[in-house]
């Protein structure tokens, strides 16, 4: 029996000790510095660098070869070489994450991949009858430069990946929910198969044994409310439920209800552990139940969309914003901008900017009373700004600061009510809308659910549209909402 498995099987299940039973070194991690990086983003970036190296060295080789190859043939061979090279690099595993961490391990796959590429190009040129001395010269120079460029790229990638590994950005922080038999078996398995890309931060269970501090050597850190706090603090990336999979399991139902409020991946462990505690593979089979709405390339695409569009729009609307600022200052006393604390991504408070549309001495910082038709607190200019949504323009600054998105669930004031109830009390899954950054506009707004929330139905419909948007997000969908905002939502009847 492997020593790690033997140790795991001999560890007490639940203990009251003040210190945990010693965990393997690979399972104790220092605090992470920075946001976690998805493996597909790292390998995808490496692929982009490979493509750039192949194209750049091909063009450089063409120059060094005195440009004696005909330009149309040069372009054809360069594109075919890029396609063959990228396919060969993938086939030889040259972009595997473990090899990116150790550049020396990539040298043989890189050389093999380019040998296959060069061989394919030679065969193609023979078939075309275009293999002549000038082409031979270019391919020879290209091969030397390409190998050098690819190797330098791997060296740079190795340095970067090594730094990310040391700072914990390649490690997924996992929380396990459940201290029962299923949880104990899962934790024993993790002890027996430690991995440096997986770190169990602790165990959570509302029904844990009284005063128990550790389960199979892992700390018991509290119940679901404590777990939700850790997720919102950014210290948990994935939650694994270790409990029977059943729709009639009240513990499972409660866990899903709580975790659905936070941007985190949630899976349930499928109990395939044999009687003697053995499990197959490094990771037991899991069934994904909830997914973080934006991870990996999706998160990057959303960020680029927000920052680029916000920067362009701010440049375009700068004269309009300046004119509005002057008009506000001339009409009434008080600041130009109105700042209000609202709940943003992951339920964190952010300060949202708007052009002031109310008399300063009548401003309602906590939105205890939402604006209504003929509201005496609103200035004459403010009515125009609110009707046309121009009061929202400063929120593009929030977007550039990374606090908001252009499209997303609208951020609501902390004390906003519908039918006399706080929004959170009026809608069961209200906090689930905070799994994405709030937006200047959103699906609910362009669908007619904007403005006063005099009844509970108004906020229920808003939240329904917000959750639908989160589950179906695409860049194209965002662009459509932006277009609908411009064409149909500016003069909405519901904004006061």
- Per the prediction, the chain carries an average pLDDT of 83
Provide the phi-psi class of 22: left if phi over 0, else alpha when psi is between -120 and 50, else beta: beta
Q: What pLDDT sits at residue 351?
A: 92
- Residues sharing a CB contact under 8 Å with residue 66, sequence separation 6 or more, in sequence order: none
CB contact at 8 A, 37 and 164: yes
Highest mean pLDDT among 173-182, 281-290, 407-416: 173-182
Phi, psi of 353 (to 5 degrees): -100, 140
Q: What is the pLDDT of residue 486?
A: 82
pLDDT of 209 reads 59
The pLDDT value recorded for residue 481 is: 93
260 CB burial (10 A radius; 0-12, 13-18, 19+): middle
Partners of 355 in the β-ladder: 337
Could you read off the pLDDT of 26-40 as tens digits, one per residue? 455 666 667 788 889
- pLDDT band, residue 488 (cuts 50/70/90): low
The pLDDT value given to residue 141:
92
Domain boundaries, the chain: 3-29+171-290, 39-166, 296-488
> Which residue do the tokens 């965990």 mark?
23
* DSSP assignment letter at 209: P
Is the pTM value of this prediction over 0.85?
no
Residue 48 has pLDDT above 60, yes or no: yes
DSSP 107-139: HHHHHHHHHHHHHHHHHHHHHHT---HHHHHHH
pLDDT in tens, 59-73: 999 888 776 777 788
End-to-end CA distance of the chain: 72
Closest CA to 423 of 448, 458, 449: 458
pLDDT of residue 370: 61
Task: Return the minimum-mean-pLDDT range out of 71-80, 187-196, 411-420.
Answer: 411-420
Could you tell me the pLDDT band of residue 52, with boundaries at 50, 70 and 90? very high
The CATH number that domain 3-29+171-290 falls under is 3.40.50.720
Helix or strand holding residue 349 (H, E): strand 349-355
Mean pLDDT within 155-167:
89
Residue 283's pLDDT band (boundaries 50, 70, 90)? confident
Provide DSSP, 220-271: EEE-HHHHHHHHHTT--SEEEE-S---TT-HHHHHHHHHHTTSS-EEEEE--
Between strands 405-407 and 439-441, the pairing is parallel
Q: How confident is the model at residue 151 (pLDDT cuts 50, 70, 90)?
A: very high
The yes-or-no verdict on residue 397 having pLDDT over 70 is yes
pLDDT at position 316, please? 94
pLDDT at 385 over 50: yes
Three-state SS at 153: helix
Q: Are 118 and 88 in contact (CB under 8 A)?
A: no
- Within 10 angstroms of residue 364's Cβ, the number of other Cβ atoms is 15
| pLDDT confidence bin for 5, thresholds 50/70/90 | very low
Closest CA to 381 of 421, 327, 433, 343: 327
* CA of residue 26 relative to chain centroid, distance: 26
Are 255 and 176 within 8 A, CB to CB? no
**Percent of the chain residues past pLDDT 70, beyond the cut:** 84
Q: Output the pLDDT for position 327.
A: 92
Kindly indicate the confidence band of residue 108, based on its pLDDT and cuts at 50, 70 and 90. very high
Residue of 392, 484, 483 lying closest to 438 (CA atoms): 392
- Give me the pLDDT at residue 274, please: 43
Sign of CA dihedral 155, 160, 164, 167: positive
Q: Residue 142: what pLDDT?
A: 93
- Count the neighbouring beta carbons within 10 Å of the beta carbon of residue 2: 9
- Cβ-count burial 330-351 (b if 16+ within 10 Å, e if not): eeeebeeebebbbbbbbbeebe
- In whole angstroms, what is the distance from residue 367 CA to residue 416 CA? 6
Question: What's the pLDDT tens digit per position in 295-341?
Answer: 889 999 999 999 999 999 999 999 999 999 999 999 888 898 988 88
The answer to whether 494 and 446 are in contact (CB under 8 A) is: no
> Looking only at Cα atoms, what is the longest distance across the chain?
86
Poorest-confidence range of 43-52, 170-179, 272-281?
272-281
Tokens for 108?
A: 């043989």
What is the Cα–Cα distance from 364 to 244, expressed in whole angstroms? 49
Of the candidates 176, 240, 217, the one whose C-alpha atom is nearest the C-alpha of residue 23 is: 217
pLDDT at 2 over 80: no
For residue 368, what pLDDT is reported? 56
What is the DSSP pairing of strand 198-204 with strand 218-222? parallel
Write out 6-32 in H/E/C secondary structure.
HHHHHCCCEECCCCCCCCCHHHCCCCC
The tokens describing 422, both together, are 């706080």
So what's the pLDDT on residue 276? 42
């Amino acid at each position: 029996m492997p020593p790690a498995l033997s140790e795991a099987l001999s560890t007490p299940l639940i203990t009251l000790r003040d210190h945990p039973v010693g965990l393997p070194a690979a399972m104790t991690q220092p605090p992470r510095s920075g946001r976690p990086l998805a493996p597909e983003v790292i390998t995808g970036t490496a692929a982009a660098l490979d493509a750039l190296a192949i194209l750049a060295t091909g063009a450089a080789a063409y120059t060094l070869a005195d440009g004696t190859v005909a330009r149309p043939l040069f372009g054809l061979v360069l594109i075919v070489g890029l396609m063959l090279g990228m396919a060969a690099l993938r086939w030889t595993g040259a972009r595997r994450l473990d090899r990116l961490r150790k550049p020396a391990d990539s040298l043989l796959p890189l050389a093999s991949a380019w040998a296959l590429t060069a061989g394919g190009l030679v065969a193609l040129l023979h078939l075309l009858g275009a293999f002549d001395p000038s082409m031979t010269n270019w391919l020879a120079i290209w091969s030397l430069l390409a190998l050098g460029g690819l190797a330098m790229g791997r060296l740079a990638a190795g340095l970067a990946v090594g730094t990310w590994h040391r700072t914990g950005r390649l490690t997924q922080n996992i929380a396990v929910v459940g201290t029962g038999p299923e949880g104990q078996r899962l934790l024993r398995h993790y002890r027996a198969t430690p991995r440096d890309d997986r770190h169990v931060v602790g165990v959570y269970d509302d029904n844990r044994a009284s005063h128990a501090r550790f389960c199979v050597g892992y700390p018991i850190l509290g119940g679901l409310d404590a777990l939700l706090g850790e997720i919102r603090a950014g210290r948990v990336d994935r939650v694994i439920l270790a409990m029977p999979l059943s729709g009639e399991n009240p513990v499972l139902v409660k866990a899903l209800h709580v975790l659905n409020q936070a941007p985190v991946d949630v899976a349930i462990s499928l109990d395939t552990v044999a009687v003697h505690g053995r499990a197959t593979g490094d990771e037991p089979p899991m069934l994904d139940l909830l997914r973080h709405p934006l991870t990996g390339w999706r998160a990057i695409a959303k960020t680029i969309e927000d920052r680029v569009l916000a920067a362009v729009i701010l440049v375009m609307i700068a004269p309009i914003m300046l004119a509005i600022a002057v008009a506000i200052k001339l009409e009434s006393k008080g600041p130009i901008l109105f700042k209000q604390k609202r709940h943003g991504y992951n339920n964190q408070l952010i300060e949202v900017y708007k052009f002031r549309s109310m008399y300063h001495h009548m401003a309602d910082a906590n939105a205890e009373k939402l604006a209504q038709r003929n509201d005496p607190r609103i200035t004459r200019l403010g009515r125009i700004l609110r009707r046309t949504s121009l009061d929202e323009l400063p929120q593009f600054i929030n977007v550039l600061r990374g606090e908001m998105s252009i499209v997303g669930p609208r951020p609501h004031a902390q004390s906003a009510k519908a039918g006399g109830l706080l929004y959170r009390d009026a809608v069961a899954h209200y906090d689930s809308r905070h799994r994405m950054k709030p937006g200047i506009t959103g699906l609910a707004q362009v669908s007619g659910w904007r403005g006063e929330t005099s009844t509970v139905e108004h906020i229920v419909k808003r939240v329904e549209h917000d959750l639908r948007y989160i589950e179906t997000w695409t860049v194209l969908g965002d662009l459509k909402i932006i277009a609908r905002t411009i064409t149909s939502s500016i003069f909405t009847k519901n904004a006061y």
